[in-house]
Structure 1
Amino acid sequence: MARYHIETYGCTSNRGESRQIESALRDAGHYRVEGPEQADVAIMNTCTVVEKTERNMVRRAKELQSETADLIITGCMALAQGDEFRTEDVDAQIMHWDDVPTAVTNGECPTPGPGVEPVLDGVVGILPIARGCMSDCSYCITKHATGKIDSPSVEENVEKARALVHAGAKELRITGQDTGVYGWDRGERKLHVLLDRICNEIEGDFRVRVGMANPKGVHGIREELAQVFAENDELYNFIHAPVQSGSNDVLGDMRRQHQVEEYVEIVETFDEYLDYWTLSTDFIVGFPTETDDDHEQSMALLRETRPEKLNVTRFSKRPNTDAAKMKGLGGTKKKERSKEMSELKMDIVGAAYDEMVGTEKRVMVVEEGTGDSVKCRDEAYRQIIVQNATEHGIEPGDFLDVEVTSHQTVYAFGTPV
């Protein structure tokens, strides 16, 4: 697991965002250290109130990049003036708060707490449908903690989902180390069966988001799964299928079980069934055996499939994993490849959100945002911020129609209509 150091600047809202980041990191098994020198990754949550503050942010970012292996910059200045860091040659990943926990995980499976009990957090119900996975990735330490897949029955998970909705959940988040292999230990993959039953057997006005599912598990049920998405409005049209590399040679060294062609077939199937949906995926850059040609294949795959949400992480060694024994690439090489892919990512994601401007979307308010704003999700789970929430009388759990007025590359702004 990763050692992280986090620094927070600015207002109470920023401190709240940092607490959420830390909560997600702890849930994934990572742990905090007090200094950047001992950390695998440093996280800087920035402020941008006045020019002096901005200069201080850039100065501190330069210090941190020299003190730690990887630097992630988030917060207000990162989102509003991220180019300032790039202009000053600060070598960092710049991203929204919501993306920080995934970026730290180095491509590993998420690791929820003990057991598979549901949790209600505001209007969000978190439902772990199983524990463990069927993978044996060479870089992942999570498997040592969770073991192979252990799936409760469909009936049991449906009842847990029903209890969450009755308790006030408006958004159900289906989670697990690998949701795509749910039911494998019971002789048959049943994610599509579970989702269909949740949507059709539980009364109430709610939405369902499916968590990470590795391409190998999804590929075998891609037709059935895409059909369930197409038939049920309760499901966000969103899948997170981490491909990790565009090179089959690297995927083999990673022991990822899937091949690039299978990932592409998943994308093509969902394109066939859904007109408007979000593809989320992950890439690990700088795996020890990744050549320049392998990296170019990853860049080509990114251009071909154009995921609307993308997590780019630089490879870092985890103790007691096979990949940790491999001779690694130099830090400069990893940083160059990460920068190139991250720049392409911003172009692709920004273009997707730019296409939304001027359209009307039906959204659900999921949680409070910064200041007097709320974070909403449309049918494809794309984030739309509505400001002046009190003036409009809206709060988490509400459904409303908004006009998308602008975007900030990785999220949009909307006004109620």
Structure 2
Amino acid sequence: MVKVYIENYGCARNRADGEIMAALLHLAGHEIVYDLDESEIVIVNSCAVKDPTERKIARRIRELLDEGKKVIVTGCLPHVNPEVIDERVSAVLGVKSIDRIVQAVEYAIRGEKLISVPDWRKRNLDKLDLPRLSLRTVYFIVPIAEGCLNACTYCATRFARGVLKSYSPEKIVEWVKWAIKQGYKEIWLSAEDTGCYGFDIGTNLAKLLDEITAIEGEFRIRVGMMNPNHVIKFLDELIEAYQDDKVYKFLHLPVQSGDNEILRRMGRNYTVEEFEEIVNAFRKKFPDLNLHTDIIVGFPGESEEAFQKSVELIKRIKPDKVNVSRYSPRPGTIAAKWKQLPGWLIKERSRLLHRLRLQISYEINQKYIGRKMEVLIHGEGKKGNVDAVTMNYKHIILPKGEKGKFEVAKVKNATSTYLLGEIVT
């Protein structure tokens, strides 16, 4: 038996993979520890979506090795840029090989090295067949698919996750039922792109939501990111499914650019007009919709005019949150071969858009002051306060509250990133 510490980076999908590895190791008799100093082996469950993230993780791997830890690297980095992984690591596992984590640890104990990074085409792994070990007590992540149907010219994640493989609705529903029986109050439906769920098996996200909301119990569903080109195909059906009280009125719909030519170069397969059509349709039905979107600034070929179109789009649709990313070329992608914009210009555009998004978020959140809203208590937050979420997934800070309880809170104040309030029931 050895003591293993797991560091998860990146998306909710990756965190679910980390919980699978934790469960497999626990069942094999190893101890999962939550203090790095106690560990003998560290699993770095990596992300490689952006160049800064990659550099951060590569640096972290070196630090752990220099401290004398045995390190196993999993996640997307082994697929995207294995060259940056320090040769001293004890094992390297791809996203389709996490079921070999016990073997990797046993190799590491013996001083041997296991490398298993198969191409996604050559190894199929249904992760809903694997156990989970989660420390969280309020929300539970349920992967609904792996891979996607897009071919974005800037994305390297697809080299790791591959083409869409949707998990069966029956297995997903069983995991949701299990989580509710365990006392979880919030279910995260997670995938690289929830919008194309089921397209490969003759169903879709709306039908899945209908099946999950039919499950008895008091719980809420948080739907993960979905791309516009898929949502537009079953928009009315999806909006109808969202009307159920169990579904958070939260929509993460990345647009990436306000310029159609840049979207074409990105390989995004939708137009700005289609993106706005989806937003308008959702807002018409759900006035309190919490809209998150993503913008990439500095993509190759982005002129000043194209950037200004992104700025105008954000001013026009006023999202609750904009995730602003500075474009960075990823190995093996088409866009990495194109002429790159200067770093200073990308940084300048990023700062401008970030200031705009904070201003818009602040104005939106101020309108919540004085309102009474149902909230779900997540648990302890920073500085002794309590973190909770509203039914449209706005984070609200409360002075007190019992984890896992639904309460009514009154909003007393607001910042650009969260609300502040107190329980009134």
TM-score (norm 2): 0.70
How far residue 229 of structure 1 moved from its aligned partner, in angstroms, is 1.2
Matched, 1:172 2:197: no
RMSD: 2.5
AA paired with 1:410? T
Aligned position for 2:59? 34
Give the secondary structure class of the aligned counterpart of 1:221.
helix
Question: Which structure has the bigger radius of gyration?
Answer: 2
Aligned position for 2:29? none
How far residue 186 of structure 1 moved from its aligned partner, in angstroms, is 1.3
Aligned position for 2:397? 385
1:401 aligns with one of 408, 414, 424: 408
Residues 334-349 of structure 1 aligned to structure 2 (within 5 Å): 334-349=346-361
Aligned position for 1:302? 314
Query: CA separation in 1, counterparts of 2:222 and 2:380?
Result: 18
Matched, 1:369 2:381: yes
2:177 aligns with one of 152, 162, 179: 162
Give the secondary structure class of the aligned counterpart of 1:143.
helix
Query: CA separation in 2, counterparts of 1:123 and 1:330?
Result: 44
Aligned position for 2:154? 139
Q: Would the aligned equivalents of 1:227 and 1:273 in 2 still touch at CA under 8 Å?
A: no
Matched, 1:193 2:210: no
Aligned position for 2:262? 250
How far residue 270 of structure 1 moved from its aligned partner, in angstroms, is 0.4
Query: CA separation in 2, counterparts of 1:282 and 1:364?
Result: 26
Matched, 1:225 2:232: no
How far residue 34 of structure 1 moved from its aligned partner, in angstroms, is 3.3
Q: Would the aligned equivalents of 1:119 and 1:127 in 2 still touch at CA under 8 Å?
A: no
TM-score (norm 1): 0.72
- Which residues of structure 2 form unaligned runs of 5+? 1-8, 11-33, 36-41, 64-124
Query: CA separation in 2, counterparts of 1:379 and 1:288?
Result: 39
Query: CA separation in 1, counterparts of 2:239 and 2:348?
Result: 36
Query: CA separation in 2, counterparts of 1:368 and 1:177?
Result: 29
AA paired with 2:172? N
How far residue 169 of structure 1 moved from its aligned partner, in angstroms, is 1.1
Q: Would the aligned equivalents of 1:238 and 1:279 in 2 still touch at CA under 8 Å?
A: yes
Q: Would the aligned equivalents of 2:126 and 2:167 in 1 still touch at CA under 8 Å?
A: no
Q: Would the aligned equivalents of 2:413 and 2:421 in 1 still touch at CA under 8 Å?
A: yes
- Count of residues paired in the alignment: 316
How far residue 167 of structure 1 moved from its aligned partner, in angstroms, is 1.3
Map Cα deviations across residues 132-158 of structure 1 (whole Å, 9 max, x no partner).
100101111011111111112222211
Query: CA separation in 2, counterparts of 1:162 and 1:180?
Result: 22
Q: Would the aligned equivalents of 2:411 and 2:420 in 1 still touch at CA under 8 Å?
A: yes
AA paired with 2:228? P
Give the secondary structure class of the aligned counterpart of 2:315.
helix
CA change 1:372–1:338 in 2 (3 A) is same
Aligned position for 1:181? 196
Give the secondary structure class of the aligned counterpart of 1:220.
helix
CA change 1:150–1:274 in 2 (3 A) is same
Give the secondary structure class of the aligned counterpart of 2:382.
coil
AA paired with 1:221? F
Query: CA separation in 1, counterparts of 2:236 and 2:393?
Result: 21
Matched, 1:411 2:418: yes
Query: CA separation in 1, counterparts of 2:350 and 2:174?
Result: 43
- Which residues of structure 1 form unaligned runs of 5+? 5-14, 17-22, 39-112
Give the secondary structure class of the aligned counterpart of 1:317.
coil
How far residue 33 of structure 1 moved from its aligned partner, in angstroms, is 3.6
How far residue 302 of structure 1 moved from its aligned partner, in angstroms, is 0.5
2:331 aligns with one of 319, 322, 331: 319
Matched, 1:273 2:285: yes
Query: CA separation in 1, counterparts of 2:331 and 2:379?
Result: 36
1:128 aligns with one of 143, 156, 159: 143
Q: Percent identity?
A: 36
Query: CA separation in 2, counterparts of 1:199 and 1:292?
Result: 46
Aligned position for 1:52? none
Map Cα deviations across residues 303-330 of structure 1 (whole Å, 9 max, x no partner).
1111102100100111111111111100
How far residue 114 of structure 1 moved from its aligned partner, in angstroms, is 8.3
Give the secondary structure class of the aligned counterpart of 2:145.
coil
How far residue 275 of structure 1 moved from its aligned partner, in angstroms, is 2.1
Map Cα deviations across residues 209-238 of structure 1 (whole Å, 9 max, x no partner).
0001011111111111111112x1111000
1:293 aligns with one of 290, 302, 305: 305
Q: Would the aligned equivalents of 1:133 and 1:148 in 2 still touch at CA under 8 Å?
A: yes
Q: Would the aligned equivalents of 1:119 and 1:126 in 2 still touch at CA under 8 Å?
A: no
Q: Would the aligned equivalents of 1:180 and 1:191 in 2 still touch at CA under 8 Å?
A: yes
Give the secondary structure class of the aligned counterpart of 1:310.
strand
CA change 1:221–1:119 in 2 (3 A) is farther
Higher relative contact order (CA 8 A, sep 6+): 1
Give the secondary structure class of the aligned counterpart of 2:263.
helix
Q: Would the aligned equivalents of 2:164 and 2:200 in 1 still touch at CA under 8 Å?
A: yes
Query: CA separation in 2, counterparts of 1:193 and 1:119?
Result: 28
How far residue 27 of structure 1 moved from its aligned partner, in angstroms, is 5.4
Matched, 1:236 2:261: no
Out of 217-226 and 134-143, give the one that drifted further. Answer: 217-226
Map Cα deviations across residues 158-205 of structure 1 (whole Å, 9 max, x no partner).
1111111111211100000000000111134x10111111111x1211
Matched, 1:352 2:364: yes
